[in-house]
Amino acid sequence: MPELPEVENTRRFLVPVLEGSVIRDAEVRRQRMARRNLRPDDVPERLRGRRLERLGRHGKFLLGELERDLTLVVHLGMSGRLRVARAGEPEDPHTNVVLHVDGDTEVRFVDPRTFGFVAVLTPDERADSSLSALGPDALLDPPRPETLGARFAGRAAAVKALLLDQRILSGLGNIYADEVLHRARVNPTRPGGSLSPAELRALCEAIPAVLEDGIRHGGTSLDDLAYLLPDGRAGEYLGRLAAYGRTGLACPRCGTPIVRAVVAQRSTHWCPVCQPSAIGMGGAA
DNA sequence: AACGATCCCTGTTGGC
DNA sequence: TGCCAACAGGGATCGT
C-alpha cells in the first residue's frame, strides 16, 4: 500500500514533470475522488491554467503549491497510483482523474478502490482540513526519543496503533509500522506508555532508517493491483521486508517463524523471539 | 480524552 | 469448475 516511501518515490518522479508546469486542464471522472472538496466541480475549475510551483509531501499526502495560494492535495489511499503518460497512450482501468500538463503529457490518477482523493484547497480550507492535524513528517522531521515518549506517555493502546496514528507521526502505514517495530525489536502489542527509554531510542532510530531503505529500493509493490512507480515499474522493497506479510517464514535475524495477529484492526506481523511480548521473556505473544 | 468498532470500495483469494 | 463470502487497508466517524 502506498505509504511514505511510495509517496516519496512518486513525488520525486513527478517533480521534473510538474514543477513549473501549467496544468492546462483536469478531468475528474469519478466524483467520489473529489469528495474532500466542498464542491467537487471546484477541482478542474481551480486547476485549469494554473502553474504548479512546487511539489511537496507531508506524510502520505502529496502537496502541490499552485499559483495564487491554492494547494493541490493528492492522497493515494490504498490502491492509488499516479501514472505519467503521453496523450493517446492506452489508459489503465480505473483512471479516475487526469491532469493535462504542458505539451501532451498527462498525469493520471489510477485508483480502483477509490480510497484516495484529490482536492484543491484555499488557505482557509486547508487550515480547516485534517491536514492541519497531521503530526510531524516521519522522515523530514523524525521524532526524538523524548518527544515520542511524551506522546506515548500514559497511553494504553498498542504501540502499533500509535505508530499508525497520523496525528502523532505522519507517514507510517501498516507495512512500515511492522518493519519499524521489527527493526527496533519492539512487540507491536505493547502498550505505548510501557516502552522503556531504550526501546523509544530504538524506535526513533528505526523509523527513518526503515523509511530511507524503502525509498532507496523504490518502495513496496505487493502485487500488480497496488502501488507502482509513475512509469509503471514495480518497487523492489517487497523482497527486503523482514516481517510484513511473512507469516510462517523465517525471521531474517534469528530464523524463527514470523507470527501474525490482528492488532489495532490491522494485520500485524512480528518475530516472537526478537520482539518478545514481555521484557525478559522469549516466548510467543 | 482515549479507544475500539464500523464504514467506504473493489480485485483477489480461498473454501466448498 | 463455479460461485460467493471473506479479506485487504487509510482515514473519517461514531459509540462507549
Distance A215 CA to B14 C1' (A): 33
Q: What is the mean pLDDT of chain A?
A: 91
Confidence (pLDDT) at A285: 37
pLDDT digits (tens, 9 = 90+) for A42-64: 999 999 999 999 999 999 999 99
pLDDT digits (tens, 9 = 90+) for A16-30: 999 999 999 999 999
Q: What's the pTM value of the predicted model, to 2 decimals?
A: 0.93
- By the 10 Å C-beta count (0-12 exposed, 13-18 middle, 19+ buried), A265 is classed as exposed
Do β-strands A95-100 and A105-110 pair in parallel, antiparallel, or remain unpaired?
Answer: antiparallel
Q: How many whole angstroms separate alpha carbon A227 and alpha carbon A3?
A: 9
Instruction: Point out the nucleotide closest to A152 (alpha carbon to C1′).
Output: B2
CB < 7 A contacts with chain C (nucleic strand): A 1, 3, 59-61, 75, 77-79, 113, 115, 130, 164, 166, 173-175, 262, 265-267
**The one catalytic residue among A60, A185, A190, A246:** A60
Distance A65 CA to C8 C1' (A): 33
- Number of CB atoms found within 10 A of residue A29's CB: 11
Asked if A266 is an active-site residue, the reply is yes
Distance A144 CA to B15 C1' (A): 48
DSSP A137: B
Confidence (pLDDT) at A244: 92
Residues 6+ apart with CB under 8 A from A126: A71, A73, A132
Confidence (pLDDT) at A225: 58
Confidence (pLDDT) at A239: 84
Distance A267 CA to B16 C1' (A): 25
Asked if A160 is an active-site residue, the reply is no
Q: How many whole angstroms separate alpha carbon A112 and alpha carbon A78?
A: 9
- Number of CB atoms found within 10 A of residue A54's CB: 12
Confidence (pLDDT) at A282: 40
For strand B, give the nucleotides within 7 A of a protein CB.
2-13
Percent of residues, chain A, with pLDDT higher than 70: 96
Closest-CA residue to A16 (of A227, A233, A231): A231
Alpha helices in chain A (DSSP H): 4-18, 42-47, 123-128, 145-152, 159-164, 174-184, 197-216
Instruction: Point out the nucleotide closest to A131 (alpha carbon to C1′).
Output: C11
Please say if the pLDDT value at position A86 is more than 90. Answer: yes
Asked if residues A212 and A137 have their Cβ atoms less than 8 Å apart, the reply is no
Asked if residues A18 and A55 have their Cβ atoms less than 8 Å apart, the reply is yes
